[in-house]
Amino acid sequence: MNINCSGKLIDLSTPRVMGILNLTPDSFFDGGNLKNDEDILNKVEKMLNEGATFIDVGGYSSKPNANDVSENEELKRVIPVIELLVNNYPDILISIDTFRSTIVKKAVEAGACMINDISAGNLDLNMFATVANLQVPYIIMHMQGTPKTMQVNPTYNDITQDIIFYFSQKLNTLRRLGVNDVLIDVGFGFGKTLEQNYELLNNLDLFSNLDTPLLTGVSRKSMLYNVLETTPKEALNATTVANTIALLHGSSILRVHDVKEAIEAVKIVKKLKK
């Protein structure tokens, strides 16, 4: 299975790793760590050297109860950084993590080649048309509610079936609009209880029926550190365990804070499957 990023065909038959670049002061794990351009370039260079195929740039924290960020503030956070990265790493593959179509347009103009939308178009009705116009790979995630409300009593009839149905409807709409490269993310922690997250992790292989690449983002999340009664800082080993499970269940991309360990998981699982 391939996706087309800026004219480059990316083969996903071997899973890829997406490194997280948070440009927000309040992200749950590494918010506010990057103080200047040098910090940003050092962080990205490390992730690329460790084997990241994609760098996911985000300027809007989507943790539970996150504060709203204005469109102007989000633009100020992400566009100069995308330009900085493209200037320093001309071959870099940048994903823009946003639910706003206006940010998407400017990010792609600046050099991003993929869109990561936590709302799957639900928070901006212009998003699908924008993606169809830009013809870049589009990651749609499942979220119940909004970042501010998503953890208030999330309920489902059957979480796996409900989310498969949700994606099938979204994929039908996008394909009718002519969007070729769509990836899905079940949205661990986005409107799910602890038990629901693990049910989804255990059922990830069922999403292969949708015939589209699967991105998994469990890195240092509360579904891991709450079970272990630790903190995000201490959840790297748990993240590697969960990433390995996701790979065994068919994930094509791991979205992570820690690239080296994710690449190691990919290599071990690849050897196992041979």
CA angle 92, 173, 119 (to 5 degrees): 55
Identify the active-site residue in 148, 175, 221, 233: 221
Dist CA 104 CA 112 (whole Å) = 8
Residue 221 among the catalytic residues? yes
Contacts of 141 (CB under 8 A, 6+ apart): 116, 117, 118, 119, 120, 184, 185, 186, 187, 190
β-pairing verdict for 182-185 and 94-97: unpaired
The contacts found for 27-34 with CB under 8 angstroms, 24 or more apart, are 27/61, 27/63, 28/61, 28/63, 28/220, 28/222, 28/232, 29/219, 29/220, 29/232, 29/233, 29/257, 30/257, 31/61
Find, among 2, 72, 28, the residue nearest to 233 by Cα.
Answer: 28
Q: Are 272 and 261 in contact (CB under 8 A)?
A: no
Dist CA 63 CA 187 (whole Å) = 12
Dist CA 214 CA 219 (whole Å) = 15
Identify the active-site residue in 100, 106, 170, 255: 255
Kindly list the catalytic residues: 221, 255
